Each structure stands twice: as C-alpha cells, then as structure tokens.
Amino acid sequence: MKGTIGILTGGGDVPGLNPAIRAVTFRAIREGFRVIGLRRGWSALVDLERDKDADNSHCYQVLTEDQVNRAGRTGGTFLHSSRTRPSHLPKPIVPSHLSDLYNDEINDVTPEVLKNLEFLNLDYLIAVGGDDTLSYAHRLHEEGVKVVAIPKTMDNDVPGTDYCIGFSTCVTRTIDLTHKLRTSAGSHERFLVIEVFGRYAGFTALLPAMAGAVDRCVIPECDFEIEHLTELLCYDRRQNPSNYAVVLISEGAKMKNSMSFEGEETDQYGHRKLGGIGDQIASRLKKLSPNYNEGRRINVVSQRLGYLVRCGEPDAIDSIVPMAFGNIALDLILSGSSGRLVSLRNGCYDNVPIESIMGQQKVVDVQKYYDHERLRPKYGTFERLPLFVITGDG
C-alpha cells in the first residue's frame, strides 16, 4: 500500500461533492492508496478520541469503490459537513475528553488536530470546501501537513480559480426557478423579487441576469437606491406585454449602506446569517410603486430560493468538474506535491499554491461587468473569457 489519504467536505453542501469524493476514491484505490472519509468536516479531527478501543465511527470511515459509486450519483455529501473551525472553537462544543485542556471561551485545538492526523496515519489530506474551510487547510499546510485543496461554493468566490464546485447547478436552478415563478408574477401583474445566495460576491445573481432570466439584478458589490430600482421595475413592467417585472437580489445586497441579517448569532468563521433583504425590498417596492405608476400600487411576489439551488443532484458541469478536480488532486499526490489548490483557469484545469486562498477577496469586477445605473450586466466582448464569463479573478 502506498499510504493513506483522508478526504473531508466542509461548509455548506452543494451538488458535486459526492462526485468529487467518488473521483478521489476510485483513483486513489486503483493507485494503491487507502482512503478514509472524515465525517462532518473539520469536526472529525476535533472530536476524534486517540484510543484504539474507542468508537470513532462518527468521525471517519474507510471508503470503498462500491460505496462512493452509489453516493456519487447523488447531491449533498454523504460524509456530511459542518462549519467547525478548530482554530476558533467555542467552549460549549469542545469535546468532553478535551475540556480539561481547552476551557477558554474560544480555543485553538490545532495541536489536537495534528495529533489526530498522526493517529490516523494520514499521509495526505484532501479538503473540499469554500474559503472558510480551505483557510484552515492552509493553516494545516503551514503546520507541515500535506494538504491538497479542492474549491467548492455556490458563490464561486474562492480566489485562485475561475470555477468552484456547485456554481453551475446553482445558476442552472436559479434560471429554471425564475422562469417557473414568472407564471405567478405574470398572472397577477406583479413585481417578482427573487433572493439568491451571494454574501460578498454577486456572481449567482449577475450570471442568470446576463443569461436573460430577469429584468434587473442587485449585487453586494454596489449599494443601490430603492427608489431607483422601483422606477426601473415600473418601466420594465410597462414594457412587458404580460405587465410584470423581475429582479434578482443577492443576499448580501446593500440598500442604503446596510445589510440584512436574520439574527445576531455568528458562526465560527465570524459570519452572521444573511437573509431577508428580498422581503425588505419587496415591501419597499410595494410602498413606492405608486410614485412611478400613476398613483396605483403594484403588489409583489417575494421568494427566497435558498436551499432549492443547493439541494438535489448536480448538473452536467457539476458532475464533470468534480471528476476532473479529484483526479488532479491524485496527480498532485502521486507527484509528491502538496500545499496546492486544484483550479480551473482560463478554460484549463490546473493547480495553484494554496496560499491563493488567502489572497484578495474574489468579487465581480463592477467596472467590466455591471451597469450600476441600469442595474444590469454589461455586455462587451466575450473573446478569451472563461466559460462562465464573469467568474475570473481581476
């Protein structure tokens, strides 16, 4: 046996995670490796008990070809996931067997993670996640762990790659669901307000708009005036033979220099849960619409797509890209390389230093791709742009 590879998925689930696990496992086993699936993201390496007689089945499992082949046809992650951050672990979730050693309000249990990796005899670790999950993978790389990172997130905002697993399915579902919701908006001659994921980057709103799914879109990179949006949508409604208009709203969109949060609680990466901006905008549109509609109020359909775009099976691209990413991860391991991020750059599969994750935040280049006055995408030359047009860095 050449060694043991561990693989984990962290952060929010997206379609394409199971195909990535399948690709890694198939290739690794056939190359002579043993593969261990670490369960529930980084929490597996926090909760593990270093006792050969302990039941650690909740933390890891040995993967087989048959198991991952069946799971690889499905969405989500059969290894499960979490937003655990071992370097910032709150006291209430420190495992009982570590509570004597770590009893601060926030604890860095990385020393235990390193010991647990050694206990499992892992030669390489493959981490599949977004910038939060992969930032801790970078931390382990700095600690000397042989790490390979695979990017996934619907927001498509991991630096260093043009594409992250889950993005295509998210865009496909957004377009499909938007067209389905049109029937209700058109039947009642209303505005249709649709809220989608996108904390800091507006790719998931702007690309469906570029594909013609909506009349207007609002993204986190630019503050907007609600009165201006209302005026534009009233114009769009008048131009539509069915007398309705559609706008797509990123969850991180800022109206009058504010963001909409569902509560004060934050996760271990310091993020408050976003949500509700769509309903706020819908309410304001309804109130302001008489000003631009000859005194008559326009009612609004408001819908947050939420988990509808991240559940279920992956589309074709999110079945193919994870397969390629998994095989590139094995190529790196077979060549003795680590500390790398698997990437897709300028239409070609590649890899970059894992430090790329810690670079400048990846957001929409507003000057190139967004018309702030019209609240619409800009259309210029598409020559030599990536497959998804607006997803390249810089």
Active site residue 215: no
Whole-angstrom CA distances from 297 to 245, 294, 308, 331 are 14, 9, 30, 60
Which listed residue (13, 131, 155, 215) is catalytic?
155
Catalytic residue set: 155
